[in-house]
Structure 1
Amino acid sequence: MNAPFPPLGRVPRIVFLDRETLAPAVTLARPAFAHDWVEFDRTAPAELMERARDADILILNKVRLDAEAIAGLPRLALIAVAATGTDCVDKAACAAAGIAVSNVRGYAKASVPEHTFALILALARAIGPYAADVKAGAWQAAGQFCFHTHPIIDLHGRRLGIFGSGDLGQQVAALGRAFGMEPVFAGRKGAGEARPGYMPFTEVIETADVLTLHCPLTLETRGLIGAEEFARMGRRPLLVNTARGGLIDEEALIAALDAGQVAGAGIDVAMPEPPPADSAVMRLAHHPKAIVTPHVAWASMEAQQALADQLIANIEAFAAGRPVNVATP
């Protein structure tokens, strides 16, 4: 094996704090330099400092590292986040302490858009309700070749409003075009005039038949869609969120579903995760017009393997003195 990398001058200790966030079948190769590897299925806040204390490199997905924790980890050189989002890490504190933060990017370009359309199609075609009716014997009770207890809509010819124009949003737009939809990208909320290639935020809210979120959670986007936006949804759209919890006011969404302002909702994210049993997200999970999945839009086996491969490549690049995918404050 290679010698330890120059920034440390010793065999580095690599600690993966929440290996269970990746499926057991995912192959996680070991870095191609001498190292000491330790992994834990999951790490509770009370366990963090004891497990991370001697780490030179920390791998984590959703474990939170605040400024206080970072200050107590003097050996730490790299935090390798096994996800795209790095909001679990205080990056400003890392920068001040000279700790690099890396993330993985572009690994779910197929998985998230496909899950998005799985939710859209399931809602538009009433897949869940019809499957439940069949199990309950409704087909036999109908006495004919079909029955019509739930409305079905075609996607062809519908307007698809997309919030977020990055790789995922662009791929969702491409899938929408394949279904004969009209994809439009929403401009910034509150902006006086939309940039070229974008439609004003309010116009998208008012005219889209399907709305789907693919933007990060920031101070600007928190609560992006709430009661005021639902009240303007004249097309009774389907609403899908595979991006981040906190982008939608879920209490307002339940009210909008009940009032008929929204025809259906597909939710894959929450805040916190897992959501409390009495949370609005869990009430949505039992709502007849909603589908809730447990933050798995990203998690096809192909996407998880791509994530794992890139994660190790990030660590090896850092060890070679050529850090990549560096996340900045």
Structure 2
Amino acid sequence: METIVFLDRDTIPAHIHLPQPVFTHLWQAFPATAPEQVVHRLQDATIAITNKVVLSADILRQLPQLKMIAIAATGTNNVDLDYCREHGIVVSNIRDYATDSVPEHVIALMFALRRNLLGYHRDVQNGVWQEKGQFCFFTHPIGDIRGATLGVIGAGSLGKTVAGLAKSLGMKVLFAEHKGAAQCRPGYTPFHDVLAQADVITLHCPLSDHTRNLIGQPELTQMKPSALLINTGRGGLVDEQALVEALQDGKLAGAGIDVFTQEPAPADNPLVVSSHLPNLILTPHVAWGSDSAIQTLANQLIDNITAFVEGRPQNQV
């Protein structure tokens, strides 16, 4: 009989139905798990479920009975995959569950920033309308989406879906080649050309040593002062301090950020400190989190576990 332990159950909202495996098992779920609690809680587990709880080699070494790790997310950087492969621990993750949710969040941020909805909302809150004494007022520029150029960095399923939505809105789409690539593949545009031409840049690439601070001060300088930057990928892709400085200095028109270098973002994070800026929209890593997307995640999570128990592992990493 399998013993399944979910280390951070609260990463799936309570109103989302989490199916129970149909095979005989013991189930234990914790709302959250601190690093010092991991080994104790997994002491008898044969299957561990984690969303963001770190399972390092040092931890896994103390859990010889563990046979499977089911990651309740796509990202795998919280699990030592090399150790798992060397010791026969199956690791499965969640795939293609937010292919509507993330792209729609990107488009929502793009419209809100392009039309300065946040700035106008705050102006109304602060009584600017009454001060102007007119039926309308224009304290922030308002731009159209149709005819603008979208630069997509990361041409996976999310990047391609965003591109499809953008094209339906009448936008021109450029897919960026890898930064520093010697040659440009058919259908792609050199990285720095995309920065220079795009009215909106959206990031959809994984975080690695090659992509950390992919957008920093030099890259922001190459973008149009009227351009927008949207990051729903990974926080470390953007130099957060450089982004704030670009917004404050008028070198970038706006930014929509859903991911941060540290999460939850601490109070002294440059973006949080500057959250009062009218051209900066921050959301707490929720682009993926429509109810339908999370339900798909929950269903696939249990499917991954069931497939492993039945001897046909799926979505292995």
Shorter-chain TM-score range: over 0.9
Q: Could you tell me whether the CA contact under 8 Å between 2:119 and 2:279 is conserved in 1?
A: no
Q: 2:213 aligns with which of 223, 239, 250?
A: 223
The letter of the residue matching 1:192 is A
Per the TM alignment, residue 325 of structure 1 is displaced from its structure 2 partner at its CA by 0.2
After TM superposition, list the pairs within 5 Å mapping 1:7-156 onto structure 2.
Answer: 11-156=1-146
Q: Could you tell me whether the CA contact under 8 Å between 2:212 and 2:237 is conserved in 1?
A: yes
Q: 1:161 aligns with which of 121, 138, 151?
A: 151
Spell out, residue by residue over 1:119-163, the C-alpha distance to the aligned partner (whole angstroms, 9 max, x if none). 111111111111122222222332222111111111111110001
For the residue of structure 2 that corresponds to 1:211, the secondary structure is strand
For the residue of structure 2 that corresponds to 1:246, the secondary structure is helix
Q: Could you tell me whether the CA contact under 8 Å between 1:207 and 1:235 is conserved in 2?
A: no
For residue 3 of structure 1, what is the aligned residue in structure 2? none
My pick for the range that moved more, 133-142 or 212-221, is 133-142
- In 2, Cα distance between the equivalents of 1:280 and 1:197? 36
For residue 272 of structure 2, what is the aligned residue in structure 1? 282
Per the TM alignment, residue 237 of structure 1 is displaced from its structure 2 partner at its CA by 1.0
Q: Could you tell me whether the CA contact under 8 Å between 1:84 and 1:104 is conserved in 2?
A: yes
After TM superposition, list the pairs within 5 Å mapping 1:193-204 onto structure 2.
Answer: 193-204=183-194
For residue 247 of structure 2, what is the aligned residue in structure 1? 257
Spell out, residue by residue over 1:191-232, the C-alpha distance to the aligned partner (whole angstroms, 9 max, x if none). 122111110001001110000001111111111110111111
Per the TM alignment, residue 284 of structure 1 is displaced from its structure 2 partner at its CA by 3.7
Per the TM alignment, residue 235 of structure 1 is displaced from its structure 2 partner at its CA by 5.0
Q: 1:303 aligns with which of 284, 293, 302?
A: 293
For the residue of structure 1 that corresponds to 2:10, the secondary structure is helix
- In 2, Cα distance between the equivalents of 1:286 and 1:87? 32
- In 1, Cα distance between the equivalents of 2:36 and 2:161? 40
Q: Could you tell me whether the CA contact under 8 Å between 1:284 and 1:292 is conserved in 2?
A: no
For the residue of structure 1 that corresponds to 2:27, the secondary structure is strand
After TM superposition, list the pairs within 5 Å mapping 1:206-221 onto structure 2.
Answer: 206-221=196-211
- In 2, Cα distance between the equivalents of 1:94 and 1:292? 36
Q: Could you tell me whether the CA contact under 8 Å between 1:65 and 1:90 is conserved in 2?
A: yes
- In 2, Cα distance between the equivalents of 1:287 and 1:55? 47
- In 1, Cα distance between the equivalents of 2:276 and 2:131? 25
The letter of the residue matching 2:289 is A
The letter of the residue matching 2:222 is R
My pick for the range that moved more, 284-293 or 174-183, is 284-293
The letter of the residue matching 1:297 is A
Instruction: Summarize the Cα distance change of 1:90–1:25 in structure 2 as closer, same or farther, 3 Å threshold.
Output: same
Spell out, residue by residue over 1:51-103, the C-alpha distance to the aligned partner (whole angstroms, 9 max, x if none). 11111000010001111011111111110000011111010011111101000
Spell out, residue by residue over 1:16-49, the C-alpha distance to the aligned partner (whole angstroms, 9 max, x if none). 0001111110100111100000000001111111
The letter of the residue matching 2:150 is L
Aligned residues: 317
Q: Could you tell me whether the CA contact under 8 Å between 2:199 and 2:224 is conserved in 1?
A: no
The letter of the residue matching 2:51 is N
What residue ranges of structure 1 are gaps of 5+ in the alignment? Answer: 1-10
The letter of the residue matching 2:78 is C
- In 1, Cα distance between the equivalents of 2:44 and 2:143? 57
For the residue of structure 1 that corresponds to 2:237, the secondary structure is coil
- In 2, Cα distance between the equivalents of 1:46 and 1:289? 40
My pick for the range that moved more, 214-223 or 134-143, is 134-143
Spell out, residue by residue over 1:106-128, the C-alpha distance to the aligned partner (whole angstroms, 9 max, x if none). 10000000111111111111111
Give aligned-pair identity as a percent.
52
**RMSD across aligned positions (CA):** 1.0
The letter of the residue matching 1:59 is I
